[in-house]
Structure 1
Amino acid sequence: MTKHPVSAAPFKRPPRPWYKRATAAFHAPQGGIPVARVIPRQVDCGSFILRFLEPSAAFGEGMGTPDSDRVSLDTNAFKESNLSDSRTYHPMIKLGLSNWIYHLPRWHSSRFYPVPHPPYAVITAHWQLERVKHDIQLKPDDTTLLEDYLRHDYTAYLESEGGPNWKVRDEAFNGKTITGDPLPQYQIDHIIENGLLAPPLSYEVLTCNAMHWLRYLWAPRPAMPEALNYTTTLLPDVLLTVDFHIVRMNSEPWEDWWDLFLEDCETLVKSIACQRKALPGAD
């Protein structure tokens, strides 16, 4: 018998203390996930059903429209991902896509000056199933094994022949000056130092709805993270990743909106539920 469905909890930000609400116009970023326009989604994936909340897209007509509410996990159903470096081109099945924006506070000091006021950041969220590479088998409840897989995968992607870091070193050592001479060593060192991409440095465990997630930053260069990823193992060869891709628009410190961004992302991830279907003949 199939287990009773697990409903996705409604999207709701935790209440703020009164003193923060009273001063929010001066310090709290505007925008973010449109609470009133968050759509409950259900996708039948064969051996399990996924439920999650997908916000309506802030811009881009049809961006938040799902491809299907039923997907096949056959190998040929997984396509090349458009999340290049941040998810190392894992073959994927797209489940959902949305976006939202974080703006400056309503009474931010810069609003008194006649200058452009770009938003803090634009976030594009991707919900996708991913095929585990190289026929590796993982365990759905084992975050240690998942972390080991992710660490090795990022290192192999960046450092193997033809990978981004391999290309940086190859181009630096084969570079030529205007006269055709090999580049001096100090220029080679500078190119390599500024061109190499760094893998995620740490992985945090998040457990909710009996799902065990790893949260990690794709921050290939130190200035600003480019994506916040949450990954969990659903089947030995299938991952679920929610990738929150970040495009920074404003020169203000990213800490000004980062806490709200983290809170919104975690609330969405905690809304995800996986209902396993019973095997035929099981009680």
Structure 2
Amino acid sequence: MNTSPPPSTPFKRRPLPWYKRATAAFNAPRGGVPAAPVVPRRIDCGPFTLSFLEPAAAFGEGMGTPDPDEVNLDAGAFTPTEAPNARANHQAIWLGISNWIYHLPRWHSSRIFPVPHPPYAIITTHWQLERVKHDIQLKPDDMAMLEDYLRHDYVAYLESEGGPNWKLRDETYKGKTISGAPLPQYQIDDILAAHLKSPPSSYEPLISNDMHWLRYLWDPMQGMPNTLNYTTVLLPDVLLTVCFHITRMNSEPWEDWWDLFMEDCEILVKTITCQRKELPHAGVAASE
């Protein structure tokens, strides 16, 4: 694994072509990760050390929990994550949390109206270690095996008893009535079609600093992006996932800031490095 620490200076986006630079004030969203100072993080995780850059939070600094400098990977250190945007309710250890904002272009046409202009979007990011479920053992760098695990896990999370889709079906069939009468089947079908959540549809591989990642979009309602995730296998029973949770704050189409968001996320993930520690007595064994 790459042993170099992450850079301590803010990263930069890819340069824009001249014609986009010339019109940036009219159509380029402002803000994002490069607009904030970044904090180099280095976390001792027992058999390895993780390093990454964490942007300073745009608001709510600290987000309520201190960032650890050291964690252990005992099973008891992983806690359930039941937040609405948690990744399939894996037990996890949060390593860091931050947020940033995308704003309207500086000279956006709507600024001629004297009305408040909320952000395009707010992004909340979690860096978290996740415990692999059901005692499954994954192989680091085996992307096909990781993808198979993620696909099956999302289906199980959504469809198993107590899961979001199971609850929706149960409530729809048992609790939805009009004037005391059960809903007709066609209305039940319409409700389910509109509200059943879908698993990620595709997984894209990415290799950075000798770490093999899968990138996948959690788009549960099909057409309303919710969370962009990057996951890699660190140990057979431990994953590292970076979750970029998306909150839209106005009616502007999300496509206006999506390309910028994707670029910022990828650059941020590429600052992550994992330094494996030498096993005890490895040097002695090698010399014998």
- State the TM-score bracket (shorter-chain normalisation): over 0.9
Residue in 1 aligned with 2:164? Answer: 164
Q: 1:28 to 1:85 in 2, by over 3 A?
A: closer
Once residues 242 and 135 of structure 1 are traced to their aligned partners in structure 2, the CA distance between those partners, rounded to angstroms, is: 22
Using the aligned pairs only, state the percent identity.
70
CA offsets, 1:175-199, max 9 Å, x none?
Answer: 3534422211121111111120011
Amino acid at match of 2:209: N
Please, which runs of 5 or more residues in structure 1 have no aligned partner? none
What's the Cα RMSD here?
Answer: 1.7
Check conservation: 2:3, 2:273, Cα contact below 8 A: no
Once residues 276 and 4 of structure 1 are traced to their aligned partners in structure 2, the CA distance between those partners, rounded to angstroms, is: 9
Check conservation: 2:129, 2:240, Cα contact below 8 A: yes
Residue in 2 aligned with 1:46? Answer: 46
Amino acid at match of 2:241: T
Q: Once the 2 structures are TM-superposed, how far is the Cα of residue 265 of structure 1 from its aligned partner?
A: 0.3
Amino acid at match of 1:184: P
Q: Once the 2 structures are TM-superposed, how far is the Cα of residue 21 of structure 1 from its aligned partner?
A: 1.6
Once residues 5 and 172 of structure 1 are traced to their aligned partners in structure 2, the CA distance between those partners, rounded to angstroms, is: 53
Q: 1:108 to 1:6 in 2, by over 3 A?
A: same
Aligned: 1:238 with 2:238: yes
CA offsets, 1:20-39, max 9 Å, x none?
Answer: 22211011100111445111
Once residues 16 and 66 of structure 1 are traced to their aligned partners in structure 2, the CA distance between those partners, rounded to angstroms, is: 37
Residue in 2 aligned with 1:256? Answer: 256
Aligned: 1:106 with 2:106: yes
Structure 1 residues 125-140: aligned runs within 5 Å:
125-140=125-140
Q: Which moved more, 1:28-37 or 1:133-142?
A: 28-37
Residue in 2 aligned with 1:196? Answer: 196
Once residues 179 and 14 of structure 1 are traced to their aligned partners in structure 2, the CA distance between those partners, rounded to angstroms, is: 59
User: May I ask how many residue pairs the two structures share in their alignment?
Assistant: 281
CA offsets, 1:32-64, max 9 Å, x none?
Answer: 114451111100000000000000000003239
Q: Once the 2 structures are TM-superposed, how far is the Cα of residue 167 of structure 1 from its aligned partner?
A: 1.1
Once residues 7 and 64 of structure 1 are traced to their aligned partners in structure 2, the CA distance between those partners, rounded to angstroms, is: 26
Q: Once the 2 structures are TM-superposed, how far is the Cα of residue 84 of structure 1 from its aligned partner?
A: 3.9
Amino acid at match of 1:71: V
Residue in 2 aligned with 1:81? Answer: 81
Amino acid at match of 2:146: L
- TM-score normalised to structure 2 length: 0.93
Please, which runs of 5 or more residues in structure 2 have no aligned partner? 284-288
Once residues 197 and 4 of structure 1 are traced to their aligned partners in structure 2, the CA distance between those partners, rounded to angstroms, is: 38
Once residues 278 and 141 of structure 1 are traced to their aligned partners in structure 2, the CA distance between those partners, rounded to angstroms, is: 19
Check conservation: 1:86, 1:227, Cα contact below 8 A: no
Once residues 4 and 194 of structure 1 are traced to their aligned partners in structure 2, the CA distance between those partners, rounded to angstroms, is: 46
